[in-house]
Amino acid sequence: MRAARLHEYTEDMSDALRIDEVDRPVPTAPDDVIVEVSGAGWCQTDNHIIEGMWTEYVPQDLPMTLGHENAGIVSAVGSDVSLVEEGDPVICHPVQTCGTCRQCRLGEDMYCENGAFNGLTTDGGFAEYLQTSERAVIPLPDGVDPTDIAPHADAGITAYHAVKKAVDELNPGDHAVVIGVGGLGHIGLQCLDAMSAATITAVDVKAEALELASDLGAQQTVDPEATDLPAELDAITDGAGAEQVLDFVGADETTAYAPDIVAPGGDHHIVGYGGHVHEPAQALVDGEFSFKGTLVGRYTELQELVALVDQGEVDLQTTRFDLADINTVAEKLEHGEIEGRAVITP
């Protein structure tokens, strides 16, 4: 089968991955599930993996097939699998978990002590077939297209995971801010609108992104290049600040907003990444606010997100590309030329 594989780390996205012929996976363990990939979302994390940014955090053996946002049709299963059968449409949680370590017993899938992360520590879905496990697949409802829903396997569940934490702290009438209405942010904004009664302000430097934000439920929109963001939010919130800030950019500039825009006791959720947090300790003490990281999400949260999609609460904007165009997609994303999410169709 064909697979897009990373052979060496590079910052040149034009020649980042190579299309190789590799063996098609077959079930080797009783809980194995083989999925014929209908769609595999391209994520900014894929660019970071190509650049070698993740080598300090997880072991990687190259060459490796990338792709962690996967959905498709079950083509084969191991002898013990009962959840799905051949022909079922599924979306794949990016982490294949053991189910027996303490973190798994606590329901914290992302912290599995024996987990394998598709496209990061083991072969992913930029290929015609993906080998995963029964614990990682979620059957899709009738009418949900596995190609279109694929990016929810990471982008969607990550946005949902951050929003779910934020919603727990939001009361009706509170203010929430969404920074960045791009591939993740437009999902998070819809989840926030569907799951809370907060007043939402969307922040972006692109006029089309702010227009989209208004269409998706934001009550106010702000271009931080055209106006002073802290001053504008101070006026919007009557000086109270935003109880919850969801930062889908995660750049130095956006994390630096926190002391000036987060309400006392509130949270600044870092969802996008690549920047740094450089704030005096006193700023956190004075405001008693927190920075909170976001690492994908739980299996059950992906189930919940699929339910929101099925109910029509969350609409994902996608553009499809052939597997042969894999490096073109990498370049486009690197230069901010992808609106919504790119989906590779092997």
Across 263-268, average pLDDT: 97
pTM over 0.85: yes
The predicted model gives 74-103 an average pLDDT of 97
| CATH number of the domain within which 245 lies | 3.40.50.720
Which of 254, 275, 293 terminates a domain? The answer is 293
Q: Which of 185, 121, 127, 131 shows the shortest CA–CA distance to 159?
A: 185
Q: Are residues 141 and 245 in the same domain?
A: no
Residue 170 has pLDDT above 90, yes or no: yes
pLDDT tier, 338 (very low <50, low <70, confident <90, very high otherwise): confident
Q: Does residue 240 sit in the same domain as residue 175?
A: yes
State yes or no: pLDDT of 339 exceeds 90.
Answer: no
Shared domain check, 164 and 146: no
Please state the rounded mean pLDDT for residues 106-132: 96
Whether the CB-CB separation of 151 and 341 falls below 8 Å is answered with yes
Query: Are 134 and 168 found together in one domain?
Result: no
**CATH number of the domain where residue 10 is located:** 3.90.180.10
If asked whether residues 15 and 147 sit together in one domain, one would say yes
Q: Are residues 26 and 112 in the same domain?
A: yes
Statement: residue 317 has pLDDT above 90: no
Residues 6+ positions from 157 with CB-CB distance below 8 Å: 93, 296, 297, 301, 302, 305
Q: What does the alpha-carbon distance between residue 13 and residue 209 come to, in Å, rounded to a whole number?
A: 25
Q: Are residues 186 and 79 in the same domain?
A: no
Residues 110 and 175 both lie in one domain: no
Range of the domain at 217: 157-293
Do 282 and 318 fall within a single domain?
A: no
What is the CA 158 to chain-centroid distance, rounded?
Answer: 4
What percentage of the chain exceeds 70 in pLDDT?
Answer: 100
Domain's final residue, options 293, 311, 337: 293
Same domain, 142 and 194: no
pLDDT in tens, 274-300: 899 998 899 889 999 999 999 999 999
The answer on 80 and 39 residing in a single domain is yes
Looking at the structure of the chain, the number of domains it has is: 2
Q: Are residues 177 and 142 in the same domain?
A: no
> Bridge-partner residues for 268, per DSSP?
245, 291
Determine how many CB atoms are found less than 10 A away from the CB of residue 10.
14
